[in-house]
Amino acid sequence: MTQLATARMSARSFYALCKPRVTALIVFTAMIGMFMATPGMVPLQTLLVATVGIAFASGAAAAFNCLIEYKIDAMMARTRARPLPTGQLSQMETLLFASVLGGLGLSMLYYWVNPLTMWLTLGTFVGYAVIYTVFLKPATPMNIVIGGASGAMPPILGWAAVNNTVSPEALVMFLIIFAWTPPHFWALALYRREEYAKVGMPMLPVTHGEQFTLLHIVLYTIILVVVSMMPFGLGMSGWLYLAAAAILNCVFMYYVVSLYRHYSDALAKTTFKYSILYLSLIFAALLLDHYLV
Ligand code: HEM
Ligand SMILES: CC(C)=CCC/C(C)=C/CC/C(C)=C/COP(=O)(O)OP(=O)(O)O
């Protein structure tokens, strides 16, 4: 293999460590947090540096997660092809990469955005890479309810980057992702339950069974519906957001209630995929409403 081809392959492996699609949505919600924080335009430097800084920190957190879990990843079909289980990258390369990327991201936030954003991002990083991955995930089926707080932080990070403070509006966006995470993850955990059982991860469908998990998916989706009305209720968003949220909520409720009534792996997969579309569109609706209405 030529040197160029080897370099390209390594770059692709390092990129894969960052769980790029999850990180993309995380960064998207952080950017919406920035736009929502001001009635005008976000200063260009803040927009660029905070976006890159948060993306680096999120990618580094994902890379640490890959490092900590590489033995488990090797045993599951969904994660078997990741760079560590396949031997494309070593543990040392991953550790170095994650440290440099995370250090770079946090430094950018500290020096060019503000220290508050850096500290909040560091807390988010530790919350996911250490508290969730090391302690909660192998210990309790409520792992993602608590660990989900990390995934919900990005709009707060975006808001803090612009306003150097945390306000109720930012907390409302946090709550939307926080309530969304359990249905998002448990839909996947249901159709992947055998794999989680095999590696000894106490996910809710493994420890408490299908019906209990389905009930909790429905209950958290009801909480999500209520929470997603808060931007309108608090006067943060207008009719455009309300209409979009109402449609997105009806579809989500339809999926989770159908799943509750007649479970199938195929429908669980569709519900999981829809959860990602839901979060992308509800945050896009916040943004459109903010500037158009
Ligand atoms: C603790 C909280 C969370 C858990 C346990 C979780 C779990 C998962 C898992 C296991 C997958 C992999 C699906 C697969 O390989 O087929 C996944 C995919 C995904 N998650 Fe989450 N997630 C969480 C939070 C989030 C958050 C906060 C976001 C974004 C804001 C997010 C966005 C996504 C996206 C975009 C995908 C699709 C990735 C792809 O297609 O490769 N997740 N999630
Ligand atoms: C600093 C910052 C902004 C951090 C963001 C935190 C972050 C990356 C949250 C994402 C949550 C996520 C990828 C969960 C996947 O679950 P899992 O790790 O259990 O999934 P797996 O089985 O696919 O490894």
* 71-91 tens-digit pLDDT: 999 999 999 999 999 999 999
* 116-131 tens-digit pLDDT: 999 999 999 999 999 9
Measured from the alpha carbon of residue 29, the closest ligand is 1
Give the Cα separation of 256 and 270 in Å (integer): 10
Closest atom of ligand 1 to 279 CA is 30
What is this model's ipTM?
0.95
Residues whose CB falls within 8 Å of the CB of residue 49, separated by 6 or more in sequence, listed in order? 108, 109, 112, 113
CB neighbours of residue 197 within 10 Å:
14
How large is the average pLDDT for residues 106-122? Answer: 98
- Cβ 275 under 6 angstroms from ligand 2: no
- Over the chain, what is the mean pLDDT? 97
How large is the average pLDDT for residues 98-103? Answer: 98
- Cβ 179 under 6 angstroms from ligand 1: no
Ligand 1 centre to CA of 23 (Å) is 9
* 237-286 tens-digit pLDDT: 999 999 999 999 999 999 999 999 999 999 999 999 999 999 999 999 99
CA distances from 158 to 118, 214, 279 (A): 11, 33, 16
Instruction: Tokens for 3, please give them.
Output: 């040197």
Share of the chain above pLDDT 70, in %: 100
Per-residue confidence (pLDDT) for residue 179, from 0 to 100 = 98
Per-residue confidence (pLDDT) for residue 6, from 0 to 100 = 87
Q: Which residue has a Cα nearest atom 10 of ligand 2? A: 151
* 186-210 tens-digit pLDDT: 999 999 999 999 999 999 999 999 9
Q: How confident is the model at residue 20 (pLDDT cuts 50, 70, 90)?
A: very high
Q: Which residue has a Cα nearest atom 19 of ligand 1? A: 22
Ligand 2 centre to CA of 284 (Å) is 21
Instruction: Read off the pTM.
Output: 0.96
Q: How confident is the model at residue 293 (pLDDT cuts 50, 70, 90)?
A: confident
Measured from the alpha carbon of residue 173, the closest ligand is 1
Share of the chain above pLDDT 90, in %: 95
- Cβ 249 under 6 angstroms from ligand 2: no
Closest atom of ligand 2 to 65 CA is 18
Number of alpha carbons in the 13 Å side-chain half-sphere of residue 238: 8
CA distances from 123 to 51, 157, 159, 178 (A): 17, 11, 15, 16
Q: How confident is the model at residue 2 (pLDDT cuts 50, 70, 90)?
A: confident
Instruction: Tokens for 71, please give them.
Output: 């033995």
- Cβ 26 under 6 angstroms from ligand 1: yes
Using only the alpha carbons of the chain, give its radius of gyration: 19
